[in-house]
Amino acid sequence: MYAPAGVKTSKDFPIPDTMKAWVLGDPGVLVLKNKPVPVPKKAEVLVRIDAVAICATDLDVIAHGPPALVQGGLPFNKNWTPGHEYMGTVVAQGPGVDEYKIGQRVTVEIHAGCGQCKRCREGMYTSCHNYGLNYGDVDKGHRANGFTTDGGFCEYQVNNINTLVAIADEMTDEEATLVVTAGTAMYGLTELGGLVAGESVVVTGPGPIGLLGVAVAKALGAQPVILTGTRDNRLKIGLELGADHVVNVTKEDPVEAVRRLNCGKGVDYVVECSGAPNGLNEAARMVNRGGKICLAAFPHQPVPVDVAFLVRNNIYLYGIRGEGKSATHRAEAFMRQKRFDATKIHTHTFALEDLPTALRYARERIEDAIKVVVKAKGVAVHKVAAE
């Protein structure tokens, strides 16, 4: 039985020595294997994974590698487990941990910075300068589960306590997997963008971050919130999540439509979530002078950009990598207060064993799949009274 030295466990949550884990072999090839259950160190806990959402970035990582960086290189054939948008239950505490109790339900954010580089010291742990340095002689303590360290397509994972977000009892497992997506939108709009109530926002691209970007922007008091995209069914969900207007870019020019809908003026913010080759140039023409563009999606090829237009119009541009500055905690607070219903973007649930099918649903958008979740089979819903 699992009983590592210095690690606190509970008889209420027996932990096996080994677990089922999906492991990435060659590009696109996942194999279900047995792995030892990992052991939490100082400032870490062991999380029993109850649900994991599939992200477009998982599809990229599994097929192509980046932005995963395992042992300094591509993630293939390194006995490495992907998956990063998971939630679960704390079942063991590393030495000295008392911040989270055994039995507590949590969701996770991805990046645990090294805590010692310049950016981590500034609180920007998603931009840690020691990204991926967590092995051998250069172990800086950085973790990004599902990118640089083992992730969530398995039964148990170790998390730094700073990556945990306590969730309300009423929040379902599926909804809890969406906190990090909402947290990413929150980070882009408030911490990086400085959005204040009453400012105008366009979100381009109704993927999961775009749709929850609409929801978060509206909950933050943005006015108007305009969503652009190509698929009417996704735009309709955007309306349900709080968009004041939607624009189908296959039917009308999005720049003209945005200006018309905002009284002939550009907006204060564009959150670019489409990754379309011309997405940035169009965003630049949607913002007003001095406006801000948050880049939350990446085109798969280098794209030409009209830099002179950006300069002449004093447009601010910032990329966003994940969910920094603890924005996930504020996103969870919004969801706890039911300021928006993130579950509108959850469409499918599969058993952990059926991960390849779940990935196919997400990749090919079968049955209009948006967020596809996998759950470890046989996980009973535990409700544990506070100790």
Dist CA 240 CA 184 (whole Å): 20
- Least distance in Å: CB of 376 to Zn ion? 19
185 near Zn ion, judged by CB under 5 A: no
Choose between 118 and 312: whose C-beta lies nearer to Zn ion. 118
Can you point out the beta strands (E) in the chain? 18-24, 30-36, 44-53, 85-93, 105-108, 111-112, 143-144, 156-160, 164-166, 201-204, 225-229, 245-248, 267-272, 287-295, 316-319, 346-351, 371-375
Choose between 55 and 192: whose C-beta lies nearer to Zn ion. 55
Residue 371 Cα to chain centre, angstroms: 11
- Least distance in Å: CB of 109 to Zn ion? 10
**Residue of 113, 188, 207, 242 that binds Zn ion (CB under 5 A):** 113
Helix axes 208-219, 232-240, angle to 10 degrees: 30
**Residue of 55, 69, 211, 280 that binds Zn ion (CB under 5 A):** 55
- Give, as ranges, the residues between 299 and 358 that touch Zn ion (CB under 5 A): none
- Least distance in Å: CB of 13 to Zn ion? 27
Q: 348 forms bridges with which residues in the sheet? A: 372
Residue 137 Cα to chain centre, angstroms: 30
Q: Provide Rg for the chain, Cα atoms.
A: 21
Choose between 209 and 241: whose C-beta lies nearer to Zn ion. 209
- Least distance in Å: CB of 313 to Zn ion? 31
Choose between 113 and 291: whose C-beta lies nearer to Zn ion. 113
Instruction: Record the tokens describing residue 352, joined without a space.
Output: 């952990």
| SS3 label, residue 42 | coil
| SS3 label, residue 382 | coil
Choose between 109 and 268: whose C-beta lies nearer to Zn ion. 109
Q: Are strands 44-53 and 85-93 parallel, antiparallel or unpaired?
A: antiparallel
Dist CA 198 CA 89 (whole Å): 38
- Least distance in Å: CB of 104 to Zn ion? 23
Choose between 91 and 128: whose C-beta lies nearer to Zn ion. 128
Here's the x/- map for Zn ion, 114-153, by CB under 5 A: it reads as x--x--x-------x-x-----------------------
By residue count, the chain amounts to: 387
- Least distance in Å: CB of 322 to Zn ion? 8
Instruction: Record the tokens describing residue 308, joined without a space.
Output: 């002179």
- Least distance in Å: CB of 103 to Zn ion? 27
Choose between 145 and 228: whose C-beta lies nearer to Zn ion. 145
Q: How many residues bind Zn ion (CB under 5 A)?
A: 8
Number of CB atoms found within 10 A of residue 31's CB: 10
Residue nearest to Zn ion (CB): 55
Stretch that binds Zn ion, among 9-17, 20-28, 57-65, 283-291 (CB under 5 A): 57-65
- Positions touching Zn ion (CB under 5 A) are 55, 57, 113-114, 117, 120, 128, 130
